[in-house]
Each structure stands twice: as structure tokens, then as C-alpha cells.
Structure 1
């Protein structure tokens, strides 16, 4: 019969004394949709979807009437019918959803273990998840995160922090959902179609020679000797913070002035050319017996965690504005370019995989280029004939 909510309300179970325990009525509108009315005074009624797949006859429970009405039952039955036509078993789909982990479970049990094995910067992912993403999405099922949810989230990050930070959060979410698809957890990535924010040109902090002098003077009074040495090495080599903090004595050859980095941000190895000041710094730095780290922490079994607090004290003592520890890398590049080093050479000094990353320092080369142009101008001026027809002296 054509089922309606009113008709279903009027349905009764088997007559008293009948052998049947329930009465089943098929819907004439949607093939496979049935309502089952139980015997007894309760007369509970449930929607089921009957189907055949791979030669097997099955049925899937939709829900109880009247909590679920006929229109909602038909919609669910039609969705399952479409799945059957595609060769997908609705029961498998339902079981998959029931077993779907929450974002918190997925991040902790699956994504982070993967990131620790494949990403040098996995700790940055862990920090974003712990401080921001999991408080927002943690209890929700992985399959329930929508594109709108992602868009609203990164908009909040942009408003409270910066476009660049919001883009890093979007990249992490996209990677997490991409891996979830690979591991057959979900079928779609809700980050697809979410546009990145336009980022301002990268910061290229510079210091005058006077400010650098103040910073070095303040370092002499800083009690954290390990942190001071690490900060000086960052400034002298332009390496990344973690590259310096994870430095081992076995990877440094002071006689050849070479420092081997076994693992960089892009996953490759590289050698850092140590200048005279860097070699002198490392030669004078105390090496603890049996400790592999160049800059050990309070527990010598571990490297120094973060020189941020010491750097803040140094900047305050020197009367200098706030700088990130990462700013020391930019200062190294700025000093190099301002001294006439080409952008190509700076790219290799910093270990940039792409020359486009080094282009942020292009404007600092203007004075050097102007001097080079002036030298050509000088030659041209000398070559010009004077009013008397003779060459300039």
C-alpha cells in the first residue's frame, strides 16, 4: 500500500491468537521499504529496508515510527537503494559510520604516530592539535566535519592570529583528512574547496650594527650559557632553531669547518659551512663527557628544549624590540645580502629548496646592485669625451 503517516498510525499488529508475531506492510512508492508492526498492546512500529546484493537478501533497520516519519524513511531507503545500485552494501556503510573514530581518537591513535615517522616538524602538528583543533573538533566524528566547519575555523584563526597561521592550520587539517581517505576512514576531504588566505610578504628583520652590538653585550650577562651559545650559532649560521638544538658533536668537523645536518625540514641532508666565528664559538664551548648534544638541556640526556626565555631576557636587557628566535635566521640572511652575497648563494647557505623562498631578501640587495651600477657609470663617465673632444681624465 502507499504508506502515509496516518495509515501507519492506524496499523495494528496480528490479531490476538495469531501465530505471527508481527505484521509487515510494503510501501508501494519505494521498493524495499517496509513497516513492521509488532503484536500486543504496545504495537511498536519499525521501518526496514529490504534489498538484495551479491546474491544475498538482507534488511537494514531505519528506525521507529513516529520518531521517524514516512518521508524521512523513504529518503533513507532511496539513499540505500542508490548505494545498492553502485554495488555498496548499506549495512557495511552503517557499520563503518558506527566505527568511525572521533577527531580526537583519529589524531591521537592514527595521524600523530604517522606524522612522527614522516615529518620533521611533527611537534608543530601536535601543538596545533592540542591547543586549537582538538578543543574545537575533538569529540565530533571524523565524517561529520563539513567544509563549512573548516572554513569557519580557519577564519577564526585568521582573526585571532594571522593569515599565514590560518593557512598552516588549513594545511594540517587537509593532510589529516587526506590520510583518512587513504586509510579508508572517510570518502571526502572537507578541506577541498577552502581557499587559502593571501599572506603578506615574509618578514625580513634587520638590525643595525649598533643594535647587534647591544644584543651581543647583553648575551654576556645571560646566565643560561647553553641558550646563549645556541642563539649565537643560529645567528652565525642561519640554521633553523631545531637544527641547532638537535646538533650533535659527532656531526661537526671543526678542522674542516663543516657541520653535517642528517635531517632538515625538507627531509634532506646538507652540510653547513662554518665561518671563523662559528668555529671559534664551538671550540670554546664546553663539551660534557659522554653527552652527544652540543647544547644539552637541564637533563643532559636531552638537548636544550627552547632558548625563547633566555632570548627574551637578552632583548629586554639590550633595549631591543621583540624578535622571534627564527628571526636570527633572517638576520643572518640580511647581513649576507647586505654584504654583497648573491641570492643564489644565500639560498644554499639557508638550505632553501626553492629560490622563490629566498626572494624575500631581494630588496636588501638594492644597495649592492646600486654600487655595481655606479661602477659601470663611473667607467662610462671616464670614457665620455670632454668639451675639447678629449677623453675624461
Structure 2
């Protein structure tokens, strides 16, 4: 059709034909209306993607007629054609956006190619659970490269009632977007998690005192010898058939009690002990040579108490802590730990706190955080920094040194045996 100013009157006059046709605007080159055989109409722009006659011609649909007025469509066409003048290719960008991966697709690639290949099975399961339970139901269908910081912030805030979990989710998502950038699934450097503030977390570490450790030791010895007492709910129908109170005891097997002791003496993680095989142990050099762990291949130094436990433990399976089946590791220690910790009178103590206790003893003895970090298998120094407040030995030595010298100078009894300080008074020395 001849070029004419596209107005509402012109659009109302357009009728469908046997074939598709276009009506181009007389004042804005490249802006027009497409009329289909069904009668459906849409605003379009036409342009060359590049300079010269060899540059390909593109046609981009702006919107359906009826969703925008002709003047609104003209304004959008000017903006689109203006971006073309600056080197953009809106049609190609739209096609790329359609091909772009959703967050759900990127998440699956992240989990299979990165997490499951480089992390332990338990860590991989934790990553997948957080993403599939919390993130993907909210953002899974969104294009990964289009997700905004505001959307991540809303997701983080939605889980404020569980701050530790919310922060963990934020860390996992941040790792996901870093991976996606390297895999070219999103623009390099794109990470909408960046800059979002984490919720404050209450300290989860719990360190057992010497008295509590003594009670734990007593409870473990009782568990493996005469058994731990248990209560019977008298309201239950079968309560009358239960053994007499004096006979209500449950013996915890040697492998479970050995596992609890090894957790305390080695500071190892739970899975590292439960999945430990006999051929991972070098008795001659006193080492556990783990082929895999949360942080990859790892060596754990065995002290004398740990070696004694392993040397005296019967070999009932390929695994040190024998499970129900000889070719499979024990899945957890929930029941024996609950029984032992309850008998010891401990409340709110997690089995992971045994690892924290192992580290706290070393920190309190002034062994130094780098050494403790190596014993625990930390790959980042910042991970060991949580025990810095327990490393009081250098401060204690300094305080004792200063205090003893001051006491000696003052003639106090607590300074006996320390060096006496000669205090300077108006140019001469005298002993105080």
C-alpha cells in the first residue's frame, strides 16, 4: 500500500486479504503495521542489522494493535530504531532471550556439572534441597540472566524466619550465578546476589566443658556395658508387657560408641567417620587417608586415644562403623547420640558440636589457629577464625607477665619468682 501516516482511522480501514501485507508509515521510515489473513494486526519495525547493502534486513514485532495506540507504537518504534542506529540488533537480542536458559535449567547444570562432581554427596544433597524447595518454586521459570537483585532480596526476606537457612540459600545462589557466568549461561560477572546483606545469625557453636566431657565418657561406658535406662509410656496398651524398671536398659553396640569417641578425639565430620573404611587407615603412620570429604581428599592425624579405639574395634564390615549391611555404611548416629547425650544431662548439644569441642580444646591450649585449621581439614583460614576468641593463651601469657612484674615491683607476694623491675624515678633507679 502507498505510504501514509499511520493513525487510528487508517488502522480501522485496514481489511484482511488473501495474503499478508504491510502498511508503512509515511513520516517514520521502518515503522509500519502488518495485517495477516486472519485480520490480526501488529505494529512492526524494519531495519538493516549493520551498514551497507549486504547487511541483513530484520523485522521486529513491537506489539499487537489494540494494546498500544498508533502514537505509543510510533514512540516505541523511534526508540527501537534509535538503538539500531547505535549498533544494536533488537531482533537478534529477542531471539537470544528466547533461547536463554531458565533458572531451573541453569540450576540443574550447576548441580550436575559442578556440585555433584566436586562436593560430597551430603553437600550436594543439601544444595539440591535448598534450590528445589525454596528457590525454584519462586524463580525457576524466570530467565536466569533476567533475574534481578530485588527478586533475590524478596526471596531472602521471605525466609527471614529461618535466618541460617536463608543465608545458606543466598550463598548457594551466588555460587550458582558465578558458575553460570563461567558457563556462559548468563553474562560474565552477572550476579544478582551481590550486595544483599545476610541476616545476623546466633552462634551455633557449642563447646563442651571438662565436666560435660566427663559425663559423656561415663554415659558411653555405661551404654556399652550395662546399657542405658529407658522410660516406658504407661498410657500405651503394651506398657504392661514391658520389662520391669530395673531391667529397662538398652546396650549401644561397640561400633556406635567407637564412632562417638572418634568424633571427639579426631574432630572429624560425621560423614567422614561413618563412611570410613578399614583400608583408609594407615596404622603404621597413624593417619586416616580419606579419598573424599566435604573439602575433597583429606588426611586426618590419629592421636593415641583414636588409634587405641580403632585397634580394638572388631572388623564386621568393610566400613569401620559397621552398618546393617556389610557393603553399606551406617546412615546416622541419631539414636545412640540422643541416648548418650540425654544420659549425660546435655540439652541442645548437636553431634557436630563434638567437632567444635575438639577445636576449642586446641585453641584454648594456644596451639594456633593455622594448626587447628589443618587438623580439621579447613581449606579457608576464615573458617577456623570462629575459634579465634578461644585462643586466649597468648593474651593470658602477656597478662601474667605484666601482672607478675608489676606485683614484684610493688612487693606483692604473687610476684615472687618473677623478675624485679627497676622503676625510674627522677633520673635514678631504685627497687620498689
TM-score calculated relative to the size of structure 1? 0.80
Paired residue for 2:282?
A: 253
The structure whose Rg is larger is 2
Q: Does residue 25 of structure 2 align to residue 27 of structure 1? A: yes
Q: Is the 8 A contact 2:106 2:185 kept in 1?
A: no
Task: Tell me if structure 2 keeps the 8 A contact 1:235–1:332.
Answer: yes
- SS of corresponding position for 1:174: helix
Once the 2 structures are TM-superposed, how far is the Cα of residue 372 of structure 1 from its aligned partner? 6.8
Corresponding position of 1:47: 43
Q: Deviation string for 1:145-200 (max 9, x for gaps)? A: 3211100111222x2112x4433211211222233333333337352543232645
Q: Which runs of 5+ in 1 are unaligned?
A: none
Give the drift of 1:8: 4.9
Correspondence for 2:174: 174
How far the C-alpha of 1:334 sits from its partner, in A, is 1.5
1:136 to 97, 113, 138: 138
Deviation at 1:234, TM superposition (A): 1.6
Number of the residue aligned with 1:211: 212
- SS of the equivalent of 2:346 reads coil
1:242–1:31 CA distance, 2 compared to 1 (3 A): farther
Report what 1:295 is aligned to: 321
Q: CA deviation at 1:279?
A: 0.7
Paired residue for 1:334?
A: 360
Ranked by relative contact order (alpha carbons within 8 Å, sequence separation 6 or more), the top structure is 1
1:243 aligns with 2:272: yes
Q: Is the 8 A contact 1:38 1:44 kept in 2?
A: yes
**Pairwise mapping of residues 277-316 of structure 1 onto structure 2 (< 5 A)?**
277-289=305-317, 291=318, 293-316=319-342
Structure 2: any 5+ residue segments left out of the alignment?
A: 229-250, 409-414, 423-429
CA distance in 1: counterparts of 2:347 and 2:397, whole angstroms: 31
Equivalent residue runs for 1:260-271 within 5 Å: 260-267=289-296, 269-271=297-299
Question: Which TM-score applies when normalising by structure 2?
Answer: 0.74
- Mapped to 2, the partners of 1:33 and 1:172 lie a distance apart of 46
Give the structure 2 partner of residue 348 of structure 1: 374
Whether the 8 Å CA contact 2:147–2:192 is kept in 1: the answer is no
1:272 equivalent in structure 2: 300
For 1:370, the equivalent position in structure 2 comes to 396
Deviates more, 1:180-189 or 1:245-254: 180-189
CA contact (8 A) 1:315 1:322 kept: no
Between the aligned partners of 1:168 and 1:344, the Cα distance in structure 2 is 25
Q: Once structures 1 and 2 are overlaid, which stretch shifts more, 241-250 or 75-84?
A: 75-84
Greater displacement, 250-259 / 239-248: 239-248
Matched residue, 2:420: 384
